[in-house]
Structure 1
Amino acid sequence: MLYIGCHLSVSNGYKAMAEEALKLDANTLQFFTRNPRGSKAKEIDEKDCNSFLEIADKNNFSKVVAHAPYTLNPCSPDERTREFAIEVMADDLMRLEYLPNNHYDFHPGSHVKQGVDAGIEYTANMLNEILKPEQSTIVLLETMAGKGTEIGKTFQELKQILDRVELQEKIGVCFDTCHVYDAGYDIVNDLDGVLEEFDRIIGLDKLYAVHLNDSKNPFGSHKDRHEKIGEGYIGIDAIARVVNHPRLKHLPFILETPNDLQGYAEEIKLIRSLYSE
């Protein structure tokens, strides 16, 4: 079964978000845990969370993805910035227990001229501080495009973070098609080779979700600008190969393309038309 959805707003509540997904013919979704450019989070309404879970179960949703705000930088050279990332992510993971057994995606951070090794160490240390044996959420490192001093632009960098995490069963990876293409992994001409490299370095058993995006910029640009499906440098044929790849097609696919709700509905319909059972 194809699990396809998009990034939706939780501003009107979890139940409303699930209902919006159904209107779009989606059976998974992603949402920001709080203001993506700030730190404010909605109060938890347990009844609303339970309504979301009932809708998701009744309509055979896959696991959904909660996304950390963009303001977090767990490997900043500034100690208070790192502490802020720890505080927010720990709180997010506690709140996500009201929506148990789902995923939490975050950007590994920017080392800001400290060097990749320092950035990797800080991010891994944060994960070891916030991950708990009793949590049901799997935390996902997102593959990055390599803009500026981002870490996570190579599979090797992600592996170095993963290897330092003590609770291995609580950590995984989210594969962003725009990011990996911009980072220099040729998913257009050699998807099999890219996935073989991922499997050799990280292991495909650690891959839990796919951000399905086209790219506004050419291969290896390190720019990180998403484009609508079929309108960028990755193209519709390569996207079709991604959603139909036997080592990916069971995963939840999340659209983060520059769209309104109608645009997402059209893209979901398009992806469904490309998918072969």
Structure 2
Amino acid sequence: MLYIGNHTSSSKGYAAMGWQMLKNGGNTFAFFTRNPRGGKAKEIDPSDVEKFLELARENEFGKLVAHAPYTMNCCAAKENLRDFARETMSDDLKRMEYTPGNYYNFHPGSHVGQGAETGIKKISEILNEVLTREQSTTVLLETMSGKGSEVGRNFQELRQIIDRVECKEKLGICLDTCHVWDGGYDIVNDLDGVLKEFDQVIGLERLKAIHLNDSMNGLGSHKDRHARIGEGEIGLEALLRVINHPAVRGIPFILETPNDDEGWAREIALLRNGYKEN
């Protein structure tokens, strides 16, 4: 089965997100756990969660991919910013238990001149503080495009973070097609090679979700500018090869393309049309 959906607004609650995704033709979705620029999270309504869980069961939804706010920088140079990251992730992981067994995705962060090695050390420190054996949520490190001082610009940096974390079984990877393309991984002409390298460095068993985005820029541009499906440098053909690759069967695909619900519905229909069940 193809699990596909888009990044949607969480302002109306879980049930509304689920209904909107069904309307768009999806059976999974991503949402920000709080304002993407930070701030206090919205109170969770248990009755709303129950309505969503019933809806998800009835419609065979795949795993949800919650997204941490962009302002959360686990490897910031300023300790007050790291305190915010630590507190936000800890709070978010408690809230995720309302919808158990799903994914919590975050950008590893920017080392802001401290160097990648220091950034990796600081990210793993926070993960060691907030991850617990008891949690049902898998935390996903996102592949990044390598702009500025981003950590996670290649598979090796993500592996180094994982190696430093004690609760490794609670960690996975969300691969963003735009980010890896912009980061220099040629998923257009050598998808098999990229996935083989991912397997050798990190392990395909840790690949839990894919952000399916086209890119406005060329291979290795390190820009991170998403484009609509089929309108960028990656192209529809290559993205169809991604969703049909046997190594990624059964994982959720999330659209983060610059669109509205009507546009996402068109993209979901387009991708479903190109998906081969076997």
Task: Give the TM-score category using the shorter length.
Answer: over 0.9
Between the aligned partners of 1:119 and 1:51, the Cα distance in structure 2 is 41
Q: Report if the CA contact (8 A) 1:102-1:136 is conserved.
A: yes
Which whole-Å CA distance do the structure 2 matches of 1:249 and 1:239 have between them?
Answer: 14
The letter for the 2-side match of 1:91 is: D
Distance in 2 separating the partners of 1:10 and 1:181: 29
Task: Find out whether 1:188 has 2:193 as its counterpart.
Answer: no
Which residue in 2 is equivalent to 1:147? 147
SS in 1 for 2:242: helix
CA contact under 8 A between 1:143 and 1:174: conserved in structure 2? yes
Q: Which residue of 1 aligns with 2:272?
A: 272
1:40 and 1:71 map into 2 onto residues whose CA distance is 13
1:110-134 deviation line (CA, Å, top 9, x unaligned): 0000000000000000000000111
Residue matched to 1:259: 259
Q: Deviations over 1:134-189 (max 9, x none)?
A: 10000000000001000001000000001111011100100000000000000000
Could you tell me which amino acid in structure 1 is paired with residue 37 of structure 2? R
Shift of 1:40: 2.2
In structure 1, C-alpha distance between the alignment counterparts of 2:148 and 2:168, rounded to whole Å: 29
Q: C-alpha separation between the residues in 2 aligned to 1:211 and 1:170?
A: 20
| Partners of 1:5 and 1:260 in 2: CA distance | 12
Cα deviation for residue 91 of structure 1 reads: 0.2
In 2, the alpha carbon distance for the partners of 1:205 and 1:264 equals 28
How far off is 1:249 after superposition?
A: 2.6
Percent of residue pairs identical: 63
Structure 1 counterpart of 2:243: 243
Distance in 1, matches of 2:44 and 2:12, equals 12
- 1:5 maps to 2:5: yes
Gaps in structure 2 of 5+ consecutive residues: none
How much does 1:38 deviate?
2.1
Do the aligned residues in 2 keep the contact of 1:183 with 1:219 (CA within 8 Å)? yes
Q: What CA distance in whole angstroms lies between the structure 2 residues aligned with 1:271 and 1:4? A: 9
After superposition, the CA RMSD in angstroms is 0.5
Instruction: State the AA in 1 paired with 2:245.
Output: H
Find the residue that maps to 1:247 and give its secondary structure.
helix
Q: Measure, in 2, the Cα distance between the counterparts of 1:9 and 1:54.
A: 20
Partner of 1:26: 26
Q: Where does 1:103-252 land on structure 2 (aligned, <5 Å)?
A: 103-252=103-252
Shifted more, 98-107 versus 45-54: the winner is: 45-54
Partner of 2:79: 79
Shift of 1:7: 0.4
Question: In the aligned structure 2, how far is the partner of 1:40 from the partner of 1:31?
Answer: 15
Q: Which amino acid aligns with 1:110?
A: S
Distance 1:39 1:127 in 2: 20
Question: Given that residues 111 and 149 in structure 1 are in contact (C-alpha distance below 8 angstroms), is that contact kept between their aligned partners in structure 2?
Answer: yes
The answer (yes or no) to whether the contact 1:242–1:249 under 8 Å persists in 2 is no
Residue type matched to 2:196 in 1? E
> Helix, strand or coil: the match of 1:5?
strand
In structure 2, C-alpha distance between the alignment counterparts of 1:154 and 1:61, rounded to whole Å: 31
CA contact (8 A) 1:38 1:71 kept: yes
Normalising by the residue count of structure 2, what TM-score does the alignment of the two structures yield? Answer: 0.99
Residue pairs, 1:87-98, within 5 angstroms: 87-98=87-98
TM-score, normalisation: structure 1: 0.99
Q: Which runs of 5+ in 1 are unaligned?
A: none
- Separation (CA, whole Å) in 2 of partners of 1:253 and 1:57: 18
How many equivalent pairs are there? 277
Distance 1:53 1:71 in 2: 29
What's the CA shift for 1:251? 1.0
SS of the aligned residue for 1:74 comes to coil
Residues in 1 aligned to 2:68 and 2:172: alpha-carbon distance in whole angstroms: 15
**8 A contact 1:228–1:258 mirrored in 2:** yes
